[in-house]
Amino acid sequence: MKKRNFIYVLVCLFFSFSTFAGDRNLNIPHAEVAPYDAFGLALMANSEKLSPFDQLAEYFHEAEEVSPSEVLGWTSGRCFNDHSPDQPGPGLLVGVEYVDGLDRGPLFPNRSEFKHAVLDSLYNANYYDQLNDHKARKIKLSIEKSFDDLSASYSENDSMVSLYKPGNIKFKIRKFEQYILSELVVIQDTEKSKAGDKPSYCYFFKRVFDY
């Protein structure tokens, strides 16, 4: 199995949406695509010098911290890994807000926490760009059992970070121009990776699902 597929089999287990506040209906809006700006032009200018993987690594270190409100929902994009740095893969950035739902009365409002992660797929690179109700429900059902294994998002060195506890990896995201970038970081040695390895970078540009 290729390294990218090995890593992202873990990634596909990272989410759960059964604990969202209220009984939310799927709401698939008209997709919003980030404008073609300096970021896109820079990618073109550097295309003959660096792979997309290497370019995204550089942009990630120049990027700024992103807020939960900018991440809430599902945003489609592209992912590149160190094994095939020029080959695009599908990526879906998912940001959800969990509310405990306990009625403590007006003096003690519900407690909430935000969680985020990146979902990969073995389908075509544009797999997540167009969603219908059937595909969205299939994604939701495939990930809802492992939501508890994903930590609440927290701030660390200008990144929003979430930790997948069983998989010993964490997702770091930042904002660059009109795009959200992600960096996957290995935090403990495995058979195929060492702690500190950064095997994947993604960028996200198309909002496909809102809560």
Q: Where are the domains of the chain?
A: 3-209
Q: How far apart are CA 133 and CA 105, in angstroms?
A: 35
* pLDDT greater at residue 74 or residue 20: 74
Q: For residue 11, what pLDDT is reported?
A: 41
Query: Of residues 34 and 80, which shows the higher confidence score?
Result: 80
Half-sphere exposure (CA, 13 Å, Cβ side) for 102? Answer: 6
Give the pLDDT band (50/70/90) at residue 129. Answer: very high
Minimum mean pLDDT among 109-123, 141-155, 159-173: which range? 141-155
Range of lowest pLDDT (11-15, 108-112, 133-137, 145-149): 11-15
Rounded to 5 degrees, what are φ and ψ at 44?
-65, -45
The model's pLDDT over 52-99, given as tens digits with 9 standing for 90+, comes to 999 999 999 999 999 999 999 999 999 999 999 999 999 999 998 888
For the chain, give the mean pLDDT. Answer: 80
Whether pLDDT at 154 is above 80: yes
H or E segment and range at residue 114: strand 112-120
Q: Which helix H or strand E contains 204, and what residues bound it? A: strand 200-209
The mean per-residue pLDDT over the stretch 132-159 comes to 83
pLDDT at 194 over 70: yes
Task: State yes or no: pLDDT of 104 exceeds 70.
Answer: yes
Per residue, the 3-state secondary structure of 40-94, as one string, reads: HHHHHHHCCCCCHHHHHHHHHHHCECCCHHHHCEEEEEEEEECCCCCCCEEEEEE
For residue 49, count CB atoms less than 10 angstroms from its CB and return exposed for 0-12, middle for 13-18, buried for 19 or more. exposed
Residue with tokens 């969603």: 131
